[in-house]
Amino acid sequence: MGDKQFVLDAFQPAYFTLDTAELNHRNTQALEMLTSCTACPRRCRVNRMADECGYCRTGRYARVCGAQPHFGEEDCLRGTHGSGTIFMNRCNLRCAFCQNADISQEDAGTTMPPVLLAEVMLELQHLGCHNINFVSPGHVVPQIIEAIIEAIPRELRVPVVYNSNGYDSVETLRLLDGLVDIYMPDFKFWEPETAACLCDARDYPEHARKTLEEMHRQVGVLRMGPDGLARRGVLVRHLVMPGQTDQSEAIFQWIVQTLSPDTYVNIMGQYHPAHRVEVEPAFHPIRRRPTREEMKQAYAAARNAGLWRFDHALFE
């Protein structure tokens, strides 16, 4: 981690590379996307500018379920003052095991026009948060672009984190090029059948691969400041699921072969039965936590693939 190639001695927000004309152009493109919505791979084609709702059940404005310094994120994000997390309401997946279903799959939170969302970002910065961390943003990228543009002239100066489920549209992500400093996508499943069953998106693996490639193209591998906090790059999360270590292995091999063996990865072991998995018989095979042996297998698969930058060096 101390290798100099992964350290940024100085940091400037990504948007410093964009002039006002380009920012306005991005904003216009993003809002046009909402008129016949193609913001995510669902491509519902509803007019969200007229407050129509598609799969994500979100209209013209984003809804926020909470915003605060968060100390449960990766070490390189939370630091001493926390990651400034903004939890978006709703989601473009229907994960059967979602541990935050009250936020992701129910109507909740407060409607936030861009001016108010910008104020939330600036308040988190004022509190000393090391970054602004948009959680589950894939369905509200145009609204987030509006808010970032509102916050820029008011001296937003910390890294912007895009904390995604991995089910993103490449066309939408391109609008974020130069606005997001750190991408933190999930890569959940390798097999389309698993994705269809567990998150209602058979094409999830295909889009996750495209998503991670585009994110890596924009910002590269994760780089830190001299203080050890993330400044720019991609941080991939993978949740180890019971009975699916073969899919973990395939994902790790793809990351090394397509992105870089220097990709920073968080191999997560906090899966537990939740939401529909707790009550529906069809999900009985995953109605348990991953075993210690499965976690060891996942870490071994990552190392055998060539990965070495982990958030926690477990199972040495």
**Which pLDDT score, from 0 to 100, does residue 5 have?**
80
CA distance 139 to 88: 9
Is residue 315 a part of any domain in this protein?
A: no
**Which pLDDT score, from 0 to 100, does residue 230 have?**
98
Is residue 243 a part of any domain in this protein?
A: yes
**Which pLDDT score, from 0 to 100, does residue 151 have?**
98
CA distance 137 to 133: 10
Is residue 144 a part of any domain in this protein?
A: yes
Which residue is listed with tokens 């543009």?
Answer: 149
CB under 8 Å, gap of 24 or more: what pairs does 9-17 form? Answer: 9/225, 9/226, 11/159, 11/225, 11/231, 11/232, 13/156, 13/157, 13/158, 13/159, 13/160, 13/181, 14/160, 14/178, 14/179, 14/180, 14/181, 14/219, 14/232, 15/148, 15/152, 15/178, 15/179, 17/178
Domains of the chain: total: 1
Q: Which residues of the chain have pLDDT under 70?
A: 1-4, 313-316
Range of the domain at 89: 4-310
pTM: 0.97
Domain of residue 231, CATH code: 3.20.20.70
Per-residue pLDDT reduced to its tens digit, 74-106: 999 999 999 999 999 999 999 999 999 999 999
**Which pLDDT score, from 0 to 100, does residue 67 have?**
98
Is residue 116 a part of any domain in this protein?
A: yes
**Which pLDDT score, from 0 to 100, does residue 38 have?**
98
Is residue 316 a part of any domain in this protein?
A: no
CB 236 within 8 A of CB 190: no
Is residue 11 a part of any domain in this protein?
A: yes
Per-residue pLDDT reduced to its tens digit, 134-178: 999 999 999 999 999 999 999 999 999 999 999 999 999 999 999
Is residue 20 a part of any domain in this protein?
A: yes
**Which pLDDT score, from 0 to 100, does residue 1 have?**
43
Is residue 235 a part of any domain in this protein?
A: yes
